[in-house]
Structures are given as structure tokens and as C-alpha cells.
A = this chain, B = another copy of it.
Amino acid sequence: MQNGKLPERATLRDVARLAGVSEISVSRVMRRAPHISDALREKVVVAANTLGYTPNRVAGALKTATSNLVAVVLPSMSNEVFPEVLDGIESVLSGHGLCPVLGITQYDSGRELEVVRELLSWSPVGIILTGLDQDAAIRRILLHQNIPIVQIMDVEGTPLHAAVGIAHGQAARDAAELLIERGYRKPAYIGAWAERPSRSRIRRQAFEARLAERGHPLVTAQISAKKSSVQTGAEVTQALLATHPAVDAIFYANDDLAIGGMFHCMKSGLAIPGDVGLLGFNGISFGQAAPIQLATIQTPRFEMGKRAASLLIEKNAAKGLIVDLGYRISVGSSL
């Protein structure tokens, strides 16, 4: 597959020697700098190809003190939300020759610190983080770097530089209003994974507070310790309805759980929305295409990634900006 002695990776010097030109000329050809004669370019290109030369951006980045890397810190890759955000980020970055370097925190702020350190050590041109609630230690480090910082998901708080997201508390209050408006009087809430994403806790609390204000307090909130999944949603819904048969509507922390709830109802012959109304959060495609279209709060996840990356690139915009992308309540047919 490969002969025993692996050839060292070719450098600018190797190419220069083979082409019979100076190193700097090779560098210029590689970077498509102006003022290069066709003859020189040709010689260099041939030499580079025969050696299989790949520029060493590590050296280049050291010299120029810039890179084409963007640090992206996400809490998880195992639900639909963050891959979509990342997709949005990547779609913009790739158009500008930038590469995302990824760090996953698993919702652990200790790991987040490590990950941020790690990523910053690569001199990224900017960093995208999730949420507004980083530890003081992380904030300190971030502000010592000289790069734009964009925090995504949330806008209810104070960003380090810029923030792109939605108002989760407001969304949850709207959810409460919607249920009451539709005549529901015994609302419940279902969450999962011990509310690891702090934004889901904020939503639950805002939901609960508004319901209380409107005189129809939350009947029960069941927060599973398991990770969010359709399966978990089905299980928790079953348990909740068994212990609280009076419940007439359930607001879920996300659509995965809500669809699980829907599947449970379908299996056990409960009418949606006749027996129980279901309201999800996020607006994933499964919910919208389901036989009973799931009522949900649509969040612009791909767009969020795109805007975050765009803000990072127009560096001037990256200071003190808060971009609230808003959400769209889709009433569906499950309410």
C-alpha cells in the first residue's frame, strides 16, 4: 500500500529546488499572488505536482498571525438541533475559505473550559459558543483573545460580543398563552435529560410562571433523567397521563419528546387533540409531516448558524450586537 520508507512531506524549499526558483516565488505562486510570470508559475506548478506538495498552513499561520479556522463549541451532536446549526455555520464558512474546528462539551462547563482553551490555542479567527452562561473563567479567557465572539441559541442575557438566537422565555410564555387561549385548563410539561440544556429550564420556568399568572397553574412537570428521544417521550407521556388523568395538554421540551407522546397516544387510542393536546418545541421535519401535524414552536436553527458565521466574518458587526431571529408558532393539528 505504501513502500516501507515514507517520504517526508515536501516543503516550499523542496519545490523551489526542483523548480530552480526561490522559495518565496513558490510561496507566491501557491497563494496566487500578483506579478508572477506564466513561465515561473508553470515551473512551480509542475514541481509542486510531482512532489505532491501541500502548503503548510501551520507555518503560514504562525508568520501571518491569522488562520482560516473558526472555533465552534457545541454542547452535543446527538439531537437534531446542533447538527443543523453546524450545517448553517459551515455553509457560510466554506464560502469564505474557513474551516470549523469543533469542540463538544456534553453540557459540562468543566469540559467547556478545556475545549475553549484547546480551540483558542489554534488561533482561530473567531469563536462561536452555545448559550450566554459561560463560567467566569471561560469569559475571562475569551475576552483576552483578540477575536470576535458569537454566542448562539439565546438572546435573553448579556453577550460577550454578539449573540444570535431566540428569546426562549418569551417563547414559553407564548406557549402558555396559546394553550389557555385554546381552552386548555390542566396543562403539564415534559422535559428530559435532567434539563441539561439550561435553555429548556428557562422555558419551563417561564411557562410555569405565565400559567400561574393566568390562573391555570401547571398540573405537573415531569423531567426524565434520560436523554431526549422519541422513546423517552412516549414513556414519560404514558407515565404522566397514568398518574395525572386530568391533564388536557402537554408542552414538551422538544419535538422528539412530543412525537414520542404522539406515538404513545396513537398506540393507546387517545385522541389528539380530543383527549390531550400536544405542543412541541423546535419544529423538526418529522413533526410537520406526521399524520397529526405536531403543534410546535419553530426555531430557525440553520439560519442561526448562518447568521452566527456571518457576524463572525464581518468583524465590525461582531461587537455588542444581539440578533433575535424569532420563532414561529405552528399550531398544527395536535392542539
Contacts and interface: CB of A to CB of B under 8 A. Distances in A.
A220 to B, nearest CB: 23
Which of A10, A122, A234, A320 counts the most B-chain CB atoms under 10 A from its CB? Answer: A122
A118 B68 contact: yes
A205 to B, nearest CB: 28
A234 B291 CA distance: 10
B291 A263 contact: yes
Contact of A7 (B7, B102, B146, B229): B146
Interface in A83-142: 83-84, 86-87, 90, 94, 97, 99-104, 111, 115, 117-123, 140-141
Contacts of A120: 54
A242 interface: no
B102 A144 contact: no
Contacts of A316: none
Contacts of A118: 68, 97, 99
A6 interface: yes
A320 B256 CA distance: 40
Contact of A2 (B82, B115, B143): B143
A67 B58 contact: yes
B77 A83 contact: yes
A56 B62 CA distance: 9
Contacts of A260: 289
A69 interface: yes
Contact of A122 (B2, B10, B57): B57
A61 B123 CA distance: 12
Contacts of A291: 263, 266-267
A117 B54 contact: yes
A1 B103 CA distance: 25
A84 B121 CA distance: 27
A122 B58 CA distance: 6
Contact of A121 (B1, B7, B57, B102): B57
B77 A86 contact: yes
Interface string A298-320: 00000000000000000000011
Interface in A51-88: 51-52, 54-62, 67-69, 77-78, 80, 82-84, 86-87
17 contacts: A1-B161, A1-B320, A6-B146, A54-B121, A56-B121, A57-B123, A58-B58, A59-B62, A60-B121, A68-B118, A69-B101, A78-B87, A90-B102, A94-B104, A99-B102, A99-B119, A259-B286
Considering the complex of A and B, which 3 residue pairs feature the smallest CB-CB distances, nearest first?
A: A52-B144, A83-B83, A230-B289
Given A51-B144, A68-B118, A260-B289, 17 more contacts: A1-B160, A2-B161, A2-B319, A7-B144, A7-B146, A9-B144, A54-B120, A55-B121, A57-B121, A78-B83, A90-B102, A94-B103, A99-B102, A100-B102, A102-B102, A231-B289, A267-B291
